[in-house]
Amino acid sequence: MSCYDLHSHSWVSDGTLSPTELVHRAAAGGVGVLALTDHDDTAGCAEARQAAVECGLTLLPGVEVSVTWQAMTVHIVGLGVDPAAAELEAGLARLREFRDWRAHEIGRRLAERGIDGAYEGAAVLTRGRIISRTHFAHYLVSRGCGKDVREVFRHYLRRGKPGHVPGQWASLEEAVGWIRAAGGVAVVAHPARYELTASKLRRLLGEFIECGGEGMEIVSGSHSPDDVQTMARHARTLGLLASVGSDFHGPENPWVELGRLAPLPEGLTPVWQRWEAALGAA
Ligand code: AMP
Ligand code: MN
Ligand code: MN
Ligand code: MN
């Protein structure tokens, strides 16, 4: 059986490797099937697919869609999407417009706190069409506003902090609809990271299923072993397909590596059963 890693980022969004470098690193690490899931953009999939052909890896075009649900931000991964699908591309273009507006607003808010030039500083770090809080974080670290990305997130970029701007992302229904219209499977990304009560998580997953969502990440770079077991129970109860993804953003975060993931717990249906026939994997 192939090694699957179904959540990763390139510099098209807030990762630090090019799509080609990402694919080569995944192949070298033993990944057989990789999904490139940049935030709100599929622009890296063509390059990644080309690189995948060169190194004998199967590339699944994907995306990680930003969603606002109950005034919080939730991420929905789309796996096996057609990057050229019109409805998905139009939806993502709208989210990128909001990102641009929000980035200027983050810059204004940080300037009020005496940190000027943050928008320009973050913008020069982008390599694709999206500007992310991660770019602001790298800029703030370079200015000495904190010792690392985590610390500047904690002090400046998280909810309730000076540089935080509430999201106006897609609705759950839109995100799942765009993914399905593009031929993809919708998966709730890193569900344990939202720190929801069990009943609120059940509500999120229930609404997601009503919208046509089919899977949830069980093993994730941001899940603890306990999280994996808890999420596995939810997936079994609700009959959701189980996904596995590192959420790799670059080699400078050595605690998350491509393909270095725990196995799925027993009693789950892996999301890749949806493509096994097409991929020729047994
Ligand atoms: P955005 O979609 O622009 O709001 O940025 C969200 C991204 O910021 C996530 O995908 C993570 O890559 C990164 N991020 C969020 N919170 C943290 C944190 N506490 N430490 C490091 N990176 C974070
Ligand atoms: Mn990210
Ligand atoms: Mn995410
Ligand atoms: Mn991600």
In this predicted model, what pLDDT tens digit does every residue of 71-108 receive, in sequence order?
A: 999 999 999 999 999 999 999 999 999 999 999 999 99
- CA–CA separation, 208 vs 214, rounded Å? 8
- CA–CA separation, 245 vs 261, rounded Å? 8
What is the chain's length? 282
275 confidence band (pLDDT: 50, 70, 90):
confident
pLDDT at residue number 89: 98
pTM > 0.75: yes
93-157 maps to CATH 1.10.150.650: yes
Ligand 1: atom nearest CA of 133 is 3
Number of Cβ within a 10 Å radius of residue 225? 10
Ligand 1: atom nearest CA of 64 is 10
How far is residue 164 CA from its own chain's centroid?
19
| Parallel/antiparallel/unpaired status of strands 241-245 and 215-220 | parallel
Amino acid type, 25: R
The SS3 call for residue 136 is: helix
Ligand minimally distant from the alpha carbon of residue 132: 1
Q: Summarize the confidence of residues 121-134 as an average pLDDT.
A: 97
Name residue 95's beta-bridge partners: none
Q: Summarize the confidence of residues 226-239 as an average pLDDT.
A: 98
| pLDDT tens digits, 51-76 | 999 999 999 999 999 999 999 999 99
Question: Nearest residue CA, atom 18 of ligand 1?
Answer: 150
- The neighbourhood of ligand 3, an ion, using CB within 5 A, equals 75, 189
- CA–CA separation, 205 vs 216, rounded Å? 9
The SS3 call for residue 85 is: coil
| pLDDT tens digits, 243-257 | 999 999 999 987 799
Q: Tell whether the model's pLDDT for residue 279 goes beyond 90.
A: no
Which residues 6+ apart lie within 8 Å of 201 measured at CB? Answer: 191, 194, 234
* Average pLDDT, rounded, for the chain: 96
Angle at 61 (CA atoms; ends 213, 256), nearest 5 degrees: 85
Q: Tell whether the model's pLDDT for residue 147 goes beyond 80.
A: yes
Which residues 6+ apart lie within 8 Å of 64 measured at CB? Answer: 7, 9, 13, 37, 38, 39, 40, 75, 76, 77, 78, 189
pLDDT at residue number 278: 67
- CA–CA separation, 250 vs 87, rounded Å? 30
Name all residues whose Cβ lies below 6 A of ligand 1.
14, 39, 66, 132-134, 149-150, 153, 249
Ligand 1: atom nearest CA of 135 is 3
Per the listing, tokens 């005496």 go with 114
pLDDT at residue number 115: 98
Where are the domains positioned within the chain? 4-92+168-279, 93-157
Q: Tell whether the model's pLDDT for residue 277 goes beyond 80.
A: no
Q: Tell whether the model's pLDDT for residue 216 goes beyond 50.
A: yes
Task: Provide the CATH topology of domain 4-92+168-279.
Answer: TIM Barrel (3.20.20)
Q: Tell whether the model's pLDDT for residue 24 goes beyond 50.
A: yes
Question: Nearest residue CA, atom 9 of ligand 1?
Answer: 134
Phi, psi of 220 (to 5 degrees): -145, 150
Ligand 1: atom nearest CA of 131 is 3
Q: Tell whether the model's pLDDT for residue 282 goes beyond 50.
A: no
Q: Tell whether the model's pLDDT for residue 267 goes beyond 80.
A: yes
Q: Tell whether the model's pLDDT for residue 220 goes beyond 90.
A: yes
Phi, psi of 34 (to 5 degrees): -120, 135
